[in-house]
């Protein structure tokens, strides 16, 4: 696979040979939060779309799951392979057409990934296609009306700054409609306001920031 935007820019300083497993506290907190959202059962098969450096998958190694990951970046999948016990199950490929059979997975996770696809409806249909009957998908997406975006617009007249080549931003209602149009059913929703602050700041932020002004929304789907 030729180097793409993520290899050239987003992961330009990543060294594929590195096996460094050190992570910042915020990432560890976020990973633990994400794991807590899923009722994981041993022996089930999980696919992490946009698996990045494999931190989430490596944190699931003791859960007795059959773990798979896919990511478009050659550089970052080389790092991910060093984190997991079955590196052959980390696939470097554009995930618009998932290289898996129909009804293959019990769990699908996509943490801040779906918004980067040129055809969001298509990747949502692919997620549904590879889900077994009774499977669960957890999809996290960014909010166009994040309170900091609104505040920056009021102060500076500048809206959201996009950091990737493709990055779609929608409201809660728009995301929910997109997801359900693919044939998935949303059963629960959560907010995600990052974990880069103190516990007190996180607690206050979750109390005083209205749900619809959160940084990200997480949709639990069946």
Q: What is the pLDDT of residue 205?
A: 72
Q: Give the integer Cα–Cα distance in Å for 76 and 11.
A: 7
Do residues 127 and 110 lie in contact, with contact meaning Cβ atoms separated by under 8 Å? yes
Quote the mean pLDDT of the chain. 88
pLDDT on residue 56 = 95
Whole-structure pTM value: 0.88
Average pLDDT, integer, range 175-195: 93
- What pLDDT does 7 receive? 64
Q: Is the pLDDT of residue 108 over 80?
A: yes
HSE toward the beta carbon, residue 150, CA cutoff 13 A: 12
Which whole-number Å values give the CA distances from 206 to 12, 146, 147, 169, in the listed order? 34, 13, 12, 21
Domains delineated in the chain:
5-11+23-221 (3.40.50.150)
More confident site: 29 or 186: 186
Cβ contacts of 12 within 8 Å, gap of 6 or more: none
- Is residue 212 over pLDDT 90? yes
Would you say residue 163 has pLDDT above 90? Answer: no
DSSP letter string, 169-182: -B-HHHHHHHHHHT
Q: pLDDT tens for residues 31-81? A: 998 999 999 999 999 999 999 999 999 999 999 999 999 999 999 999 999
pLDDT tens, residue by residue, 7-19? 666 666 666 544 4
Does 191 have pLDDT greater than 70?
yes
pLDDT at 132 over 60: yes
Provide the pLDDT confidence category of residue 95 given band limits of 50, 70 and 90: confident
Best CA proximity match to 159, nearest among 144, 179, 181: 144
Helix %, strand %, coil % of the chain (to 5): 40, 20, 40
Q: What's the rounded Cα separation, in Å, for the pair 141 and 172?
A: 9
User: Which tops the pLDDT comparison, 198 or 83?
Assistant: 83
- CA-derived radius of gyration, the chain: 17
H helix runs in 63-171, sequence order: 74-81, 120-130, 147-156
Q: What share of the chain in percent tops pLDDT 70?
A: 86
Q: What pLDDT score was predicted for residue 207?
A: 77
Query: What is the reported pLDDT for 75?
Result: 92
């Amino acid at each position: 696979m030729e180097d793409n935007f993520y290899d050239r820019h987003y992961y330009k300083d990543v060294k594929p040979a590195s096996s460094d497993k050190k992570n910042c506290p915020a990432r560890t907190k976020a990973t633990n939060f994400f794991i807590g959202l899923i009722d994981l059962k041993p022996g089930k098969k999980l696919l992490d779309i946009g698996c990045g450096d494999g931190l989430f998958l490596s944190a699931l190694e003791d859960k007795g799951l059959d773990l798979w990951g896919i990511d478009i970046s050659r550089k970052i999948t080389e790092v991910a392979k060093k984190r997991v016990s079955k590196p052959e199950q980390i696939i470097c490929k554009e995930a618009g057409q998932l290289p898996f059979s129909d009804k293959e997975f019990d769990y699908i996770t996509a943490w801040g990934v779906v918004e980067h696809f040129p055809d969001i409806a298509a990747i949502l249909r692919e997620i549904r296609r590879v889900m077994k009957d009774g499977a669960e998908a957890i999809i996290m997406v960014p909010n166009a009306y994040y309170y900091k975006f609104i505040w920056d617009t009021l102060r500076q007249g500048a809206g959201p700054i996009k950091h990737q080549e493709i990055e779609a931003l929608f409201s809660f209602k728009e995301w929910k409609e997109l997801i359900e149009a693919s044939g998935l059913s949303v059963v629960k929703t959560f907010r995600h306001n990052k974990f880069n602050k103190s516990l007190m700041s996180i607690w206050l932020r979750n109390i005083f920031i209205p749900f619809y002004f959160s940084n990200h929304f997480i949709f639990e789907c069946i």
